[in-house]
Structure 1
Amino acid sequence: MLSRLPLRPGLKRLIKIMLSLLLILMIIIASGIAFIEIQRHRTVALPTPSGPFAVGRMEYDWTDQSRIDPFAPHTSQKRELVVWSWYPATRVPGAQTAPYLPAKWGQANDNQIVQSDDSIQTHSVDHAPLSNSMARYPVLIFEPGMGKIPTQYTTLLEDLASHGYIIFAINPTYSSDVVVFPDGRVAESTTAGKIEDSAGLQAADRIIQVWAQDEIFTINQIDKLNAQPGDMFNQHLDLTRLGLFGHSFGGATAAQVCHLDARCKAGIDIDGDLFGNVVQSGVTQPFMVIQHDQGSCSDADCRAFQNEVHTLLRTVPKGAGYSLSVKNTEHFNFSDYGAYFSLLRPFGVLGSIDGQHGIQITRTYVRAFFDTYLNSTPSALLHGPSSAYPEVQFSTP
């Protein structure tokens, strides 16, 4: 039997060093995982709404019988949408606030990567009674970014509701990563409903037509709610004061729908590239484009987008077109990601701006715009740079 060969002293030292480094690396990884888990489950209260109203939340399940869903995995399936509403509510003492996600959604969105949804405290109450302080309320329709769902913008939507807006927010079925219907059915995103890198502009133009029809269908459904005796919103929705807005692809959809449907009285695109024929045709309603920090805007894509924005805004009524950017922000600073712990910041998805301050800027300028054009309450913030928000930079359309 061969005897074992003795290891040379230098080799022994090298093995010991390598094992020590491996142990240190394992400790670092384990500590990092533990830290992330602690942060993910740390209780986080979203920023408090700044308006005088309490906030209610409600869920709808609507099917458009006139449309076959082109994104669905099964042919002949009608287009079905889960739509959430945030609205000004009567304050109910002791009422329990709504979970960040409805219970049946569970693990239903990618927010779980950065913050456990059961650790996030909202300021909404499910099915709270509508406030009777006003006879009729202005209405807003919101769509999220591609793959996202509206609850990931709860801070913005709650704040608008607290100032007297009724918001209907659409979950784009088969484009959102996951949608859960009230009966528990789960609809995961499909290739047809998402923009693949290889598909590019052609896919975006195709998908935006479906999202635009989703918004038009939702407007029609809201009109029915307003005329339905016994419904909480009956005769309380002022559709002569209808605004559309969204983030990313949802913002692009707001522009497209304002081009298609005159019922849109004002619109906002929050950091969304433009798609559809609105790029060439423009809109005739007051419109605002809010962008993340553009820096020097020296690359070709940035310059092309700025040209599209300026072309779009040249068709709006004089003085009612706005293009602004927010320094030190990135794309997801406009969502709730800025309000809680996130692994996204080191990867450049969030900018260096204080997260809650960035969200406050978004809330303030979105409301200033809609107050001006839906409530006839002009805001000085729209006139140009403000010392209160020096991060906001205006560009001339």
Structure 2
Amino acid sequence: MLAIVVAAGGYVGYVAIRHTRPVTLPVPTGQYAVGRTTFDWTDSTRTDPIAPQAGNPRELSVWLWYPAPPGTTGPRAPYAPGAWSGLHLPGLIGLAETSFGAVRNHALDRVPVAAGQFPVVVLEPGLGFAVPQYTTIAEDLASHGYLVAGVTPTYSANLTVLHGGAVHSSPAGNPSAFDDADLHAGAAQEAGDRLVQVWSADVRFTAGQVAGLGRAGEFAGHVDANHTVYIGHSFGGAAAMQACHDDPRCTGAANLDGTQFGPVVHSGLDRPTLTMASEDSCVTGACQPASVADRSDQATARALLAASTGSTFRYQITGMRHFNFTDYATYYLAGPLRSQLALGSIDGDHGLAITTAYLTVFLEHILRDRPEPLLTNPDPRYPQVKIL
């Protein structure tokens, strides 16, 4: 018994040390330095349908990553400042993952924007997640010359921060129906179809607000509002597809491992789309279904493909699971915690490198009309990628 206690104590001590050991996110691969600023924006045209109290306008926290002149220096923007630190898993288990204060990201705090006009990329997280947890993707895209506006969906995220205070999820924003083993049964499907319209409106509102930044202030003249792309992970991927369907400004959309919801499934898209799926996912429509949920995902994806007339790019990534598209892939996670999360066998940094590489070439192709052989040809750097 004493040996067990000593071993357990030693392990807890090791975890506590690893919790504070610095972790550096993958270095952005583009030519620009990266700046970051944040906004709390209110959509006065909408009454929030998922707020606990009725009658209030919809409020959103938006983080904007943007190109800064190469070689720019300045104070680093904290990874998860203030109340955002509550994104850690609750309780003592929070010690089993890297402290946010130990995460070294690369964006600089409110530095000047680079010369030029830059297309708008609106990024939305998965259900329960928040935008800071996608910093690796956002920083890399910004370094390639994009204004990346990350929207945390209020009352759907486990935590967002508005006006400095923490705001948690509501039953309407994160429906209990999504806890069902079969996500696509009855109430869950209906809840998803309703909620995706809220999220779609969030990102379209955000795109409009970013366009407005281009008319005055520090971003005046730097926003290419005629070119907007929506990107999302998981349920955010569904919102990205729906938003592109709903927004005539949309140039294209990318879905990272997201089950599709909403009218777009049957009406389709006439603009380019990219879908990246984890190894055990059926959201591309090409899989061997292992469950009722898989068969539903496959049928939904095939319906969207059949209804769409825009070009489609689809990929399955061996070794990646659902959380590999987030910064969780980079954190230290104690064994018992890691085993409970949807993280695959692929090296975490390499999985994110695959994600950012394909997102970047997709954007270059549809926004800057550049031929990108990576989209259609195998690449020896990324043997895990299966082109569908």
Contact 1:92 1:128 (C-alpha < 8 Å) held by counterparts: no
Q: Give per-residue Cα distances to partners, 1:329-388, cap 9 Å, x unaligned.
A: 110111111112124432351100111111100010111111100111121011132222
Q: Could you say if the C-alpha distance between residues 313 and 240 of structure 1 is closer, same or farther in structure 2, counting changes exceeding 3 Å?
A: farther
2:325 — aligned with what?
A: 334
Aligned counterparts of 2:250 and 2:42: Cα–Cα separation in 1:
22
Aligned to 1:322: 313
- After TM superposition, which residue ranges in structure 1, 4 or more long, deviate above 3 angstroms? 91-94, 108-113, 314-318
- Aligned positions of 1:186-335 closer than 5 A: 186-196=166-176, 197-198=179-180, 199-227=187-215, 229=216, 231-294=217-280, 297-299=288-290, 300-317=292-309, 320-335=311-326
Q: Which residues of structure 2 form unaligned runs of 5+?
A: 181-186, 282-286
C-alpha contact 1:109 1:177 (8 A) present in aligned 2: no
Deviation at 1:206, TM superposition (A): 1.6
Quote the Cα distance in structure 2 between the aligned partners of 1:362 and 1:93.
26
Q: Does 1:45 align with 2:24?
A: yes
Residue from 87, 97, 100 that aligns with 1:117: 100
CA RMSD of aligned residues (A): 1.9
Q: For residue 266 of structure 1, report the CA deviation from its aligned partner.
A: 0.6
Aligned counterpart, 1:17: none
Residue 377 of structure 2: aligned partner:
384
Aligned with residue 56 of structure 1, among 35, 53, 62: 35
Task: Give the partner amino acid of 2:160.
Answer: V
The verdict on how the C-alpha distance between 1:213 and 1:30 changes in structure 2, with shifts beyond 3 A counting, is: same
SS of 2:78's equivalent?
coil
Task: Provide the aligned length of Structure 1 versus Structure 2.
Answer: 368
Partner of 1:363: 356
Opposite residue 375 of structure 2, the aligned amino acid is L
Partner-residue secondary structure (3-state), 1:200? helix
The 1-side partners of 2:191 and 2:308 are apart by 27
State the distance in 1 between where 2:8 and 2:272 align. Answer: 51
Relative distance call for 1:315 and 1:233 in structure 2 (3 A) is farther
The percent of aligned pairs where both chains have the same amino acid is: 38
Instruction: Tell me which amino acid in the other structure corresponds to 2:192.
Output: A
Distance 1:224 1:94, change over 3 A: closer
Instruction: For 1:104-183, list aligned pairs within 5 A.
Output: 104-110=83-89, 112=94, 114-132=97-115, 134=116, 136-181=117-162, 183=163
Alpha-carbon distance in 2 for matches of 1:93, 1:377:
27
Decide whether the 8 Å contact of 1:243 with 1:265 is kept in 2.
yes
Task: Give the corresponding residue for 2:14.
Answer: 35
What amino acid is aligned across from residue 307 of structure 1 in structure 2? A
- State TM-score, norm by structure 2: 0.90
Q: Which deviates more from structure 2 when the two are superposed, residues 370-379 or residues 299-308? A: 299-308
Question: Given residue 163 of structure 1, which amino acid in structure 2 is its aligned partner?
Answer: H
Quote the offset at 1:298 in angstroms.
3.2
